[in-house]
Chains A and B, each alone.
Chain A
Amino acid sequence: MGDIVDKLGISLPVLLTQVVTFIILLVILRFVAYKPIMRMLDERSKRVKESMEQAESIKEQSARAEEEVKKQLEEAGREGQERIARAVKAGEGVKQKAQAEAKQEAEALVDRARTEIQRERDEAIGEVRREFADLTIMAAGKVIDRSLDKEEHKELIEKVLEESKTDKKE
């Protein structure tokens, strides 16, 4: 047994030295390497997780905002449509009103013209009547003034009519 140990080179001091070396390495690396590296890895994974969550929430937010905008746009569209409809309706109303007014006015105008015409006609008729009466009086006066034959009579009437015509023309 001792022979094998010798041949393999197992020696207690060297063995212990290597154990101690290993433990020293373990202790130093624990402080120099593992702790900072683990901290860094943890920190990074935490950050990645956080940023992923953040990204998720931002995504959600933007989706929500998009939805909102869409809704608003829809509402705005609807409102605009409504307003246009209302405006069209109002315009229609105005148009109808204007038409009605114009019609009324035209009717009033026509009425007034008709009354005017009526009045003028009445006046003219009155005048004609008056003139005719005058003529008749005049013709009667002439008849009375002179006895006329048939031809003279006719001539007289024609003359009166001629005169009244010229009178009227003046």
Chain B
Amino acid sequence: MAERKRGCLGCSFPILIIIAIVTLAIVVIGFLAGPLGEKMIGDVGLPSWLNVPAPDPHLPAPVLFHVFGLPITNTIIAGWITVVFLVVISYVITRRMKIVPGRLQAAFEFLLGWVFDLCKSVAGEENGRRFFPVIVTIFLFVLFNAWLSLIPGFGSILFGHHELLRGANTDINTPLAIALVSFAFVEYYGLKTLGVKYLRKFVNVGVFFGSVGKVFKGKAKEGLSGLFSGFVDVFVGALETLSELIRIVSFTFRLFGNMTAGEILLLIAAFLVPWVLALPFYGLELLIGFVQAFIFSGLTLVFVTMAVTSHAAESH
């Protein structure tokens, strides 16, 4: 018991002190070797291999090679790796499902069950079950695109002059692709559930033309007031249409901006003070990856739920 009391964080004090000294040494050497320390203190003659090369961020993903004329960028490859990872993991887990789950199965079920509960709580039992596959795929794809690109060494494999892999979310095409899928998904279910009534949300000219007809039939007073509310309806429809389209842009740039900024932040941190400074930002990026995945899938879920709820049902 006495020995236990002297320890801290599971180590005895001597080991803890050694760890602290080594960490401190790495911080100091990293600081001195990096450009930040060099500027502040001056060159202390540390070997140049300690330095991390200055990041040269560029937004378009470089094309590595072509397959049947299709350009393959490093972000596409990273996306495929995410796909393969998810499929293999799912296959391994669901191949031998047990009613009393093992740890891995329980974790996977917990994750999916959590998203499923979210779907049910937002969209209701029946719709939640219908929306779940797309929602959870968005969630998993965004999440693991972000998390897999955080694995150390992910961006440092070179292929020609470029990295072989780059987080798929940091290429604007990926968020845009998911946003388009999300858009198509929302419109599809809106149309499928409400039919032509769904389009009335965007092009609401019924009252307007009805009023025009009334004016011509001679009911001028009634027609004119109707004309005004009809005009408001048309305007609101246009706004709805615009907001529906702007969603694609906001989806895209929210994810793209967060992920790209995160990656650049990590590179800059690693460049300024090699090794240690980037560490806390890794934790931050893990959180941001989760939050972005949650936002993307959650917003899609909310939008699709709004789309399948008719306005008539909403107001009455």
Give the contacts of A65-80 with B (CB-CB under 8 A). Answer: none
Determine whether the beta carbon of A18 is less than 8 Å from that of B70: no
Q: From A3-11, A96-104, A162-170, give the one contacting chain B.
A: A3-11
Determine whether the beta carbon of B71 is less than 8 Å from that of A13: yes
Q: Which of B87, B116, B176 contacts A10 (CB 8 A)?
A: B176
Docked complex Cα distance between A127 and B159 (Å): 163
Output the least CB separation between B313 and chain A (Å): 27
Task: Give the number of chain B interface residues (Cβ < 8 Å).
Answer: 45
Instruction: Mark interface residues in B53-66 (1 if CB within 8 Å of A CB, else 0).
Output: 00000011100000
Determine whether the beta carbon of B133 is less than 8 Å from that of A26: yes
Q: Which of B59, B87, B116 contacts A28 (CB 8 A)?
A: B87
Q: Which of B82, B116, B174 contacts A41 (CB 8 A)?
A: B116
Residues of B within 8 A of A113 (CB): none
Q: Does B168 contact A (CB under 8 A)?
A: yes
Docked complex Cα distance between A11 and B71 (Å): 9
Residues of B within 8 A of A9 (CB): 59-61, 171-173
Closest to A10 in B: B172
Q: Does B86 contact A (CB under 8 A)?
A: yes
Determine whether the beta carbon of B83 is less than 8 Å from that of A24: yes
Docked complex Cα distance between A68 and B174 (Å): 70
Closest to B82 in A: A25
Determine whether the beta carbon of B116 is less than 8 Å from that of A25: no
Determine whether the beta carbon of B137 is less than 8 Å from that of A26: yes
Q: A15-B177, A18-B168, A18-B177 are in contact. Are A25 and B90 (CB under 8 A)?
A: no
Determine whether the beta carbon of B59 is less than 8 Å from that of A15: no
Determine whether the beta carbon of A14 is less than 8 Å from that of B76: yes
Closest to B76 in A: A17
Q: Does A87 contact B (CB under 8 A)?
A: no
Determine whether the beta carbon of B109 is less than 8 Å from that of A41: yes
Q: Does B134 contact A (CB under 8 A)?
A: yes
Give the contacts of B89-111 with A (CB-CB under 8 A). Answer: 90-91, 93-94, 97, 99, 101, 108-109
Give the contacts of B154-173 with A (CB-CB under 8 A). Answer: 168, 171-173
Q: Does B80 contact A (CB under 8 A)?
A: yes
Residues of B within 8 A of A10 (CB): 172-173, 176
Residues of A within 8 A of B210 (CB): none
Task: Give the number of chain A interface residues (Cβ < 8 Å).
Answer: 33
Determine whether the beta carbon of B113 is less than 8 Å from that of A8: no
Docked complex Cα distance between A41 and B72 (Å): 39
Q: Does A40 contact B (CB under 8 A)?
A: yes
Residues of B within 8 A of A24 (CB): 83
Determine whether the beta carbon of A40 is less than 8 Å from that of B109: yes
Q: A37-B108, A38-B116 are in contact. Are A19 and B177 (CB under 8 A)?
A: yes
Output the least CB separation between A10 and chain B (Å): 6
Output the least CB separation between B106 and chain A (Å): 11
Determine whether the beta carbon of A43 is less than 8 Å from that of B99: yes
Determine whether the beta carbon of A21 is less than 8 Å from that of B172: no
Q: Does A132 contact B (CB under 8 A)?
A: no
Output the least CB separation between A54 and chain B (Å): 16
Output the least CB separation between B111 and chain A (Å): 10
Determine whether the beta carbon of B112 is less than 8 Å from that of A8: no
Output the least CB separation between A170 and chain B (Å): 119
Q: A9-B59, A18-B177, A19-B177 are in contact. Are A44 and B99 (CB under 8 A)?
A: yes
The 10 closest A-B pairs by CB, nearest first: A9-B60, A18-B177, A33-B90, A36-B94, A14-B173, A19-B177, A26-B137, A32-B90, A15-B173, A25-B83
Chain A residues in contact with chain B, CB under 8 A? 6-11, 13-19, 21-26, 28-30, 32-34, 36-38, 40-41, 43-44, 47
Chain B residues in contact with chain A, CB under 8 A? 59-61, 70-73, 75-76, 79-80, 82-83, 86-87, 90-91, 93-94, 97, 99, 101, 108-109, 112-113, 116, 129, 132-134, 136-137, 140-141, 168, 171-174, 176-178, 180-181
Beyond A15-B173, A22-B181, 14 extra complex contacts between A and B, CB < 8 Å: A8-B60, A15-B177, A18-B174, A19-B180, A23-B181, A25-B86, A26-B134, A28-B83, A29-B133, A34-B132, A37-B108, A37-B112, A37-B113, A41-B116
